Amino acid sequence: MKASNKRRVVLYGAAAMMLTGLVYGGFVYESRPDVATLLSCAQPQLAMGLHAHAEPFVRDALEQDPENFEGLTMLAAIHERAGRRAEALDIYRRLLPRSADNGMRAELLVAIARLELESGDAPQALRHLDEARSEEPDTRWKKAVLRARCLKALGRTGELEAAVLEVEGLSAEGWSSSQLREELGLPTQVETPDAMEGTESSSAVQGTPKERR
């Protein structure tokens, strides 16, 4: 992790813990904190992977507003991190009919597909990925990675190289596809003298990811 990212994590962590003290210590709120405040406390902790710390905030928020969309997506992420796939999948599926209004349909479809693939249902996962339409770079990248893994699970090996090339085209600078290629049983790309001719750089030939577009 880069030094700047480490500092950001420390700052987020300190802010989250301070806000926790303010909310639950009663230094700011004499009455029960509202839903927005509770979810604001949970968000940075989820971003840092502190799901167990975020869960009390999310559950308190959902006690006040049981159908809160953001709170339910957070709870699903907490379930997923804890290995409670069935609970997470149930929440994502319940939210799907409401997701178009929130601009979250593609993201939820990708989350559903991820859990279905992990549960061994690659055909259904691939169908959900095919439904996902997004211009958001991170969602497109996650979809492309999952699609490659679905193709591998379905034995459609002839389509894997093109699938990985799509992932590489959507990847952030500095990301390497070597691990994914190894996972899928594909050779890693090796630069050759011919490939280095012209204006192409060795990093481009090797498929070193560009900034996500």
For the chain, the domain total comes to 1
- The pLDDT assigned to 192 comes to 42
* Residue-wise DSSP of 116-172: HHHTT-HHHHHHHHHH-----HHHHHHHHHHHHHHHHHTT-GGGHHHHHHHHHHHPP
- The pLDDT assigned to 182 comes to 96
The secondary structure of residue 211, as a DSSP letter, is: -
Which of these ranges, 97-101, 167-171, 199-203, has the smallest mean pLDDT?
199-203
Is the pLDDT at 201 greater than 80? The verdict is no
Average confidence (pLDDT) over 46-74: 95
Sign, CA dihedral 10-145-54-28, equals positive
Whole-structure pTM value = 0.74
pLDDT 10s digits, 131-165: 999 999 999 999 999 999 999 999 999 999 999 99
- The verdict on residue 188 lying in a domain is no
Which of these ranges, 36-45, 63-72, 165-174, 185-194, has the smallest mean pLDDT?
185-194
Residue 172 and residue 197: Cα distance in Å, rounded? 24
pLDDT band at 68 (very low <50, low <70, confident <90, very high): very high
Residue 84, SS3 per DSSP: coil
Are 125 and 148 contacting, i.e. CB atoms less than 8 angstroms apart? no
pLDDT band at 20 (very low <50, low <70, confident <90, very high): low
Residue 54, SS3 per DSSP: helix
Q: What is the mean pLDDT of the chain?
A: 82
- The verdict on residue 48 lying in a domain is yes
- The pLDDT assigned to 204 comes to 29
- The pLDDT assigned to 30 comes to 53
Average confidence (pLDDT) over 165-185: 94
In this structure, the dihedral spanned by the alpha carbons of residues 32, 35, 37 and 41, taken in order and rounded to 10 degrees, is 110
Average confidence (pLDDT) over 108-125: 97
Average confidence (pLDDT) over 193-206: 37
- The pLDDT assigned to 188 comes to 83
Give the angle subtended at the CA of 188 by the CAs of 182 and 192, to the nearest 5°: 170
Smallest CA-to-CA distance from 28 within 44, 9, 41 is with 41
* Residue-wise DSSP of 61-77: HHHH-TT-HHHHHHHHH
- The verdict on residue 105 lying in a domain is no
Residue 62 and residue 76: Cα distance in Å, rounded? 12
> In which domain, by residue range, is 5 found?
1-82
